[in-house]
Structure 1
Amino acid sequence: MARPRKPLLSRDRIVEAASALVDAEGLEGVSTRRLAAELGVSGPSLYNHFRTKDEILEAVADAVSAKVDLSMFDADDGREWRQALHDWALSYRAALTEHPHIVPVLARGPGRRPAGLRVADAVFGAMVRAGWPPAQATYIGALMRYFVTGSALGSFARGFVDDATAYDPADYPHLGQAHLLADHQERVDEGAFETGLRALLDGLGVQYEAVRRRPRGPAEARTTVRPAPKPG
């Protein structure tokens, strides 16, 4: 029998199949045996591309990170740093909420994942260009990751059952409408995220003004520049 023109397996095929399994069944649903069966190959074939299941999950996580828009951090984009963080956070959350089961892997940090490292590099570089000291630019990157990944780990609205009798006014006088939250999950969760994001950025804005007024040492001054003016 002639050999196929294309190999049966590739890293992309493995990652695509693993991502589908994670989406459908969570991290526990992924095993090399199950993945090989889904791909119609023998288990050892996977090891030509990945040494372990953890490596496969890392690649799935990186594929999600690659979906995050980073264009707002380009030096010539023109968005003010708060608007850039806002727009990036929305794109970041959208990618994570599309693949919620992989969030625990992403929450570990970028490690050696190329797309994850590009995200970290873009955020840090943009904050330093905007005038944040490097240490605080690092804190901002960490803070945003905590906030976005935390929001994607679960749904506040889905945490309430749709049974009105579960919230007896005698016990919970302020939860008379809580049984309705699950029916409005998307609006509630997105509204909560936007409210928190605005509050976070407003707080950073106050800190930024304090940083701008503070005298800088020579080393710090060499690593920061004045932010570009707002367009318009």
Structure 2
Amino acid sequence: MDAAPYQRIVAEIRERITSGRLRPGDRAPSTRQITREWGVAMATATKVIAELREQGLVDPKPGAGTVVRSVRRKREPDLSRDRIVRVAVEIADADGLPAVSMRRIATELGAATMSLYRHVGDKEELLHLMADTVAGEAIRREPPTPWRACLEYTLRLLWTVCRRHPWVAEALSMTRPRPMPNLMRYSEWVLAALLRTRLPTEELLLAHLNLFGHVRSLALTWQSEAWARQDTGLANDEWLDGHEAEFRRIVGTGRYPALDHLTAQETQHTLDQTFEYGLRLLLDGLERRLGCP
């Protein structure tokens, strides 16, 4: 997805600052200058200035407008893309993806917020680096050769990554995949296994996307559940218990006989069980499509 206009302007001004073309104490472009230079509305220009302040790049200065923030000269910690990504992963695992910001990471590292942009372009790039890192760390061996065993291994491994790090689901896209080397290994394994089935070429990508979609859709559900637990303090079964009476009242009207039958069984399934059942259905269907006995 293309960046919003204000984000592109912020990125350009940030590049001027990090490259030294705008130095500490220099006047940053005013809202009026932004409207003229980039041809945007005053509301967009105001949003640009607010975002630059949020990122710790500029400060308001009475009588001078907005100026590039002056940073006290002190020894900066040794920074690298790897350190930034690992701290971001720790924050996301502990507090969720919304808690990840350049300012929070800089605070954890004891660095200036601006210094992070020398290694990571923006939060979107950071998210993809985070996802690719944890996906790579999960890989311990190559998958087995038989096509079904290979698919089971690969998809279960990706599901494990999403279970350990619920925020990873946001970095996975079926329609706009990003070039991420470790996650591309998963795709390579799936496609290589499908090639061994002699599935018609025109169906390879369709099969791959359906298998991938099974993992991602449940991973997004798992992410939502993780957020809900964090926000409410209630596990899924505790939340259901709190709404059981209202469900039974509606079902008891007689308008929902199938739901009434299911509710009477009092069966519940975990997302792990749902994942395994769906994976088995997909692979059984693929075997039938291939004419396997």
Q: Scaled by the length of structure 2, what TM-score is found?
A: 0.59
Matched, 1:166 2:245: yes
1:1-232 residue pairs with structure 2 within 5 A? 8-69=78-139, 71-72=142-143, 77-78=144-145, 80-107=146-173, 110-155=177-222, 158=236, 160-163=239-242, 165-167=244-246, 169-173=248-252, 174=260, 175=263, 181=268, 188-209=270-291
* SS of equivalent residue, structure 1 residue 111: coil
Separation of aligned partners in 2, 1:177 and 1:136? 39
Tell me: CA distance 1:41–1:167, structure 2 relative to 1, closer, same or farther (3 Å). Answer: same
Give the superposition deviation at 1:112: 1.4
Deviations 1:63-102 (A, max 9, x none): 1321454611xxxx43x21222112211110111111123
Relative contact order, higher structure (CA 8 A, sep 6+): 1
Tell me: CA distance 1:162–1:125, structure 2 relative to 1, closer, same or farther (3 Å). Answer: same
State, as a whole percentage, how many aligned pairs show the same letter: 32
Separation of aligned partners in 2, 1:165 and 1:203? 35
Tell me: CA distance 1:198–1:42, structure 2 relative to 1, closer, same or farther (3 Å). Answer: same
Tell me: CA distance 1:38–1:172, structure 2 relative to 1, closer, same or farther (3 Å). Answer: same
Asked if the contact 1:96–1:152 (Cα under 8 Å) also holds between the matched residues in 2, the reply is yes
Gaps in structure 2 of 5+ consecutive residues: 1-74, 226-234, 253-259
- Rg comparison, structure with higher value: 2
Separation of aligned partners in 2, 1:40 and 1:176? 57
Separation of aligned partners in 2, 1:13 and 1:26? 18
Gaps in structure 1 of 5+ consecutive residues: 182-186, 211-232
Tell me whether 156-165 or 82-91 shows the greater mean CA deviation: 156-165
Q: Scaled by the length of structure 1, what TM-score is found?
A: 0.73
| Aligned-residue RMSD, C-alpha | 2.8
Tell me: CA distance 1:134–1:165, structure 2 relative to 1, closer, same or farther (3 Å). Answer: closer
Asked if the contact 1:50–1:56 (Cα under 8 Å) also holds between the matched residues in 2, the reply is yes
Separation of aligned partners in 1, 2:240 and 2:92? 26
* Matched pairs, number: 195
Separation of aligned partners in 2, 1:106 and 1:22? 16
Deviations 1:138-195 (A, max 9, x none): 22221111000111112589275223653453422533576x85xxxxx622222111
Question: Structure 1 stretches (4+) deviating beyond 6 angstroms?
Answer: none
* SS of equivalent residue, structure 1 residue 71: coil
Separation of aligned partners in 1, 2:90 and 2:121? 20
Asked if the contact 2:147–2:194 (Cα under 8 Å) also holds between the matched residues in 1, the reply is yes
Separation of aligned partners in 1, 2:244 and 2:290? 48
Tell me: CA distance 1:176–1:62, structure 2 relative to 1, closer, same or farther (3 Å). Answer: same
Which residue is equivalent to 1:229? none
Tell me: CA distance 1:27–1:169, structure 2 relative to 1, closer, same or farther (3 Å). Answer: closer
Separation of aligned partners in 2, 1:177 and 1:46? 54
Asked if the contact 2:169–2:220 (Cα under 8 Å) also holds between the matched residues in 1, the reply is yes
What letter is aligned with 1:20?
E
